[in-house]
Amino acid sequence: MGTPLFIYAPSSVSHSSPLGALFVFPTLFYSSDKDIIYICPFNAAVKGKVFITNYRLYFKNTDSMPVTLDVPLGVISRVEKMGGASSRGENSYGLEITCKDMRNLRFALKQEGHSRRDIFEIIFKYAFPLSHGMQLFAFLSQEKYEENGWNVYEAMEEYRRQGVPNSEWRVTFINKNYELCDTYPTILVVPYKATDEDLKRVATFRSRCRIPVLSWFHKENHAVITRCSQPLVGMSGKRNKDDERYLDLIREANGTTKLTIYDARPNVNAVANKATGGGYEGDDAYQNAELVFLDIHNIHVMRESLKKLKDIVYPNVEESHWLSSLESTHWLEHIKLVLSGAIQVADKVSSGSSVVVHCSDGWDRTAQLTSLSMLMLDSYYRTLRGFQVLLEKEWIGFGHKFASRIGHGDKNHADQDRSPIFVQFIDCVWQMTKQFPTAFEFNERLLVVILDHLYSCRFGTFLYNCESARESNNVRAKTVSLWSSVNSDTSLYINPFYTPESSRVLYPVASMRHLELWVTYYIRWNPRIQHQQQSPVEQRYKELLVLRDQYLKKLEELQLSDSTPSSTHLTNSSTPNAATPNQHITHLQTPF
């Protein structure tokens, strides 16, 4: 029963010894002197040793069953003692560890001499360093990479790539000290005609001062995606002339007749938000705008949905009513709503109309919608580098509250602020890569690695809630970026089928007929569910690529050895991409 229990090891770096040469100073805190039993839900109880470093919990079997566990401590959301000193029954005394990545771990110990006290306390302390006044592991890691991932995203460079600034849109440094909005980045792009004073006045009318700013600019029709938070309309239905004028400036920039405002929330929730001072853009106040609700639910609904999903896939996949159980989690329906919202945004923009996207605060659903629609519209974001830029810009830069949503290093597992919004977004991206297997330069492995390090705390990339917090904690200087690791070995993350098509808008089909559960992520711990490391097509394709290179090399050698002029036609047909496939096919038709 030698099943590896992880499909993608959370670290992309191989490590030969249990504790790894991964980090320069691995600090070992715990090593079990007696056997601890790992109660594996797929096999049976496995005897082995547990090692805990400042980064990970490692389990290695000592009996015949070859089982290892390698769990970054950051993944742990909760540790509990199970059973007491007097509990009866086999393996009833021990620890139960709940993880953020769709699994639970149970260990049993001998009921003698408080055997679990040390291990419990060490896990509790180092899995939740922030709750114990300590630093996250990312600040202790001394990994070195050839690439510096912190240089992947430069805001100015990215805006320039989009064609901004220009006569319609300008760059403002008004937020360079986070004075306008503490959850926004320092560099913002706003309508050319809006003055900094205007921005300040608009900020008073937008929740948390998150004013509408440019996310993406359509080079041909000059339509834009702008993002913001809800207007502070309140119960009394307040209006703000500056805000109204500001939205009109966005509309005017490319002569859009009607600006479309996509409110990600369900209508009722938007109305309910008025009670707490929020709300939505009313018809009479914003006459040149059309408001569309996208009916995407809030972070609490999403959290419960994923929890239900975990219930039906871990440890065992629901047997008898799989499809209706899956439906009852609503997880794929939420995916459908997010994707169809993004499709609508992308469609509007590609038809030449500018849009404003917001939800309540503009850092959860808004980030999902803007980044997904940008992924549909702009093929650059479908490259390995471009996708990193997209995440850095729309999620990290614009203040998706990673610290609150994930709860890095925090013991408060029941915190209502936690929610898998980013996981849901990555799932949407995965759905798109499934539907368009040749349109993305990166592969599924990258998506899984991103989600693994969303929790692991090994890299600084997903730490903290916003730029200002990252800056004050000196994240760029003191931690390593995930992209340093990824970009140092890109071959792992490249999709061999990638075919660049620059001007193509990618509209996925947001129908349950096509949406699938991401089995290789959510059910990856289950050895029964088949997941091939590499799809057979991909394997075959790679073999053929190797073969082609061999042939090309041979041909080159032959051509070098004789330099007759007749070799011209050979050069021609040996250039891999020169001939169109059809030409090849027609004269290569093999008869039956």
Partner 1 sequence: MICSGFFVTSGEVEFCSANPILKYTQDDLSQRGVFGTLFCTNFRVTFISDEKPQEKTDKTFKNKLYGENDIPLMCVDHIYGVYDEKRKLITGGLVKNKYPSKMIIHCKDLRVFQFSLTFSKEEDAKKIFQGIAHHCLEEKSLKCVFAFSYMGTPSPEMQWKQETVMFDSPEDWTQEMKRTKANCRLVTENENFELSQRLPKYFVIPLTIGDLFSYQGKGLPIWCWSHYSGCALFKASFPPVTQEDGDFQKHLDTMINAVAHNHLYSVKTEDLSESLPNIQDIQQSYNKFKQFFLIENSTDFWLSDVKWFSSLESSGWLDIIRQCLQKAVEVVECLEKDNTNVLITEEEGTDLCCVISSLAQIMLDPYYRTLMGFQSLVQKEWVAGCHAFLDRCNHLHQKDKEYHSPVFLLFLECVWQLVHQHSPAFQFSETYLTVLSDSVHVPVFSTFLFNSSHHRESVMKAESPLAQSGPLSCPTVWDWSVQFDSKAQNFFFNPLYLEKVKHDRAVRKPHKPKHQRNLSLPSTAFKTPPKKGFFKDETDSLKKMLRVKRLSRWRGSPDAPAATTREFFESWQHRPLDYHGLLLPCLDGPAVHIWMQRYLRWIPEVYILGGGSVAVMTKLMELLSQVQDLKRVLEQRDSSQAAKLDHRPYFQHRLLSFDSSGRLSSSFPFAYTCYRSFKPIIPTGLMQSLMVTDSLASQEDEASSVVSFV
Burial class (CB in 10 A: 0-12, 13-18, 19+), 233: buried
d(CA 302, CA 294): 15
Residue 241 binding partner 1, by CB under 8 A: no
48 versus 278: smaller Cβ distance to partner 1: 278
Look at the block and give the residue holding tokens 């849109």.
169
Residue 181 binding partner 1, by CB under 8 A: no
- Pick from 324, 502, 563, 568: which binds partner 1 (CB under 8 A)? 324
- Pick from 91, 340, 383, 488: which binds partner 1 (CB under 8 A)? 340
Residue 586 binding partner 1, by CB under 8 A: yes
Residue 200 binding partner 1, by CB under 8 A: no
Residues 404-423 that bind partner 1 (CB under 8 A): 416-417
CB of 145 to partner 1, least distance (A): 32
Half-sphere exposure of 400 (CA within 13 A, CB side): 30
How is residue 205 annotated by DSSP?
Answer: T
How is residue 321 annotated by DSSP?
Answer: T
Query: What's the 3-state SS for 410-444?
Result: CCCCCCCCCCCHHHHHHHHHHHHHHHCCCCCCECH
Bridge-based pairing of strands 259-263 and 289-293 is parallel
18 versus 277: smaller Cβ distance to partner 1: 277
106 versus 297: smaller Cβ distance to partner 1: 297
Instruction: Find the catalytic residue in 40, 99, 228, 359.
Output: 359
Residue 299 is labelled as binding a ligand: yes
Helix (H, G, I), strand (E, B) or coil at 211: coil
CB of 345 to partner 1, least distance (A): 11
Residue 337 binding partner 1, by CB under 8 A: yes
The CA–CA distances, whole Å, from 32 to 17, 62, 126, 435 equal: 16, 12, 16, 47
CB of 513 to partner 1, least distance (A): 5
Residues 505-544 that bind partner 1 (CB under 8 A): 505-514, 517, 519, 523, 527-530, 536-537, 540-541, 543-544
CB 187 within 8 A of CB 155: yes
- Pick from 17, 142, 502, 590: which binds partner 1 (CB under 8 A)? 590
| Alpha-carbon dihedral sign for residues 553, 557, 560, 562 | negative
d(CA 97, CA 107): 8
d(CA 71, CA 105): 10
Other CB atoms within 10 A of residue 68 CB = 16
- Pick from 74, 94, 278, 386: which binds partner 1 (CB under 8 A)? 278
11 versus 431: smaller Cβ distance to partner 1: 431
Residue 235 binding partner 1, by CB under 8 A: no
d(CA 70, CA 58): 5
The CA–CA distances, whole Å, from 415 to 77, 199, 259, 299 equal: 11, 34, 38, 12
Residue 364 is labelled as binding a ligand: yes
Burial class (CB in 10 A: 0-12, 13-18, 19+), 588: exposed
Cα-to-chain-centroid distance, residue 572 = 43
Residue 2 binding partner 1, by CB under 8 A: yes
Angle of the 331-350 helix axis to the 322-329 helix axis, nearest 10: 60
Look at the block and give the residue holding tokens 């597992």.
413
Residues 449-508 that bind partner 1 (CB under 8 A): 497, 499, 501, 504-508
Residue 268 binding partner 1, by CB under 8 A: yes
Give the contact letters, 102-141, x = binds to partner 1 (CB under 8 A), - = no.
----------------------------------------
Query: Phi and psi for 69 in degrees, rounded to 5?
Result: -125, 140
Other CB atoms within 10 A of residue 201 CB = 17
Active-site residue 359, yes or no? yes
Residue 359 is labelled as binding a ligand: yes
Number of residues interacting with partner 1: please give it, by CB under 8 A: 110
Look at the block and give the residue holding tokens 């891999």.
576
Residue 44 binding partner 1, by CB under 8 A: no
Residue 63 is labelled as binding a ligand: no
Quick one: which segment of 63-71, 117-125, 207-215, 457-465 binds partner 1 (CB under 8 A)? 207-215
118 versus 543: smaller Cβ distance to partner 1: 543
87 versus 571: smaller Cβ distance to partner 1: 571
Residue 470 is labelled as binding a ligand: no
CB of 203 to partner 1, least distance (A): 8
CB of 479 to partner 1, least distance (A): 27
Residue 375 binding partner 1, by CB under 8 A: no
Residue 581 binding partner 1, by CB under 8 A: yes
- Pick from 266, 282, 315, 352: which binds partner 1 (CB under 8 A)? 266
166 versus 328: smaller Cβ distance to partner 1: 328
- Pick from 243, 364, 392, 444: which binds partner 1 (CB under 8 A)? 364
Other CB atoms within 10 A of residue 313 CB = 24
d(CA 49, CA 45): 13
Give the contact letters, 559-578, x = binds to partner 1 (CB under 8 A), - = no.
-----------x--xx-x--
Query: What's the 3-state SS for 178-229?
Result: CCCCCCCCCCEEEECCCCHHHHHHHHCCEHHHCCCEEEEECCCCCCEEEEEC
**Residue ranges for the binding site for substrate?**
298-299, 359-365
**Residue ranges for the binding site?**
298-299, 359-365
Which residues have a catalytic role annotated?
Answer: 359
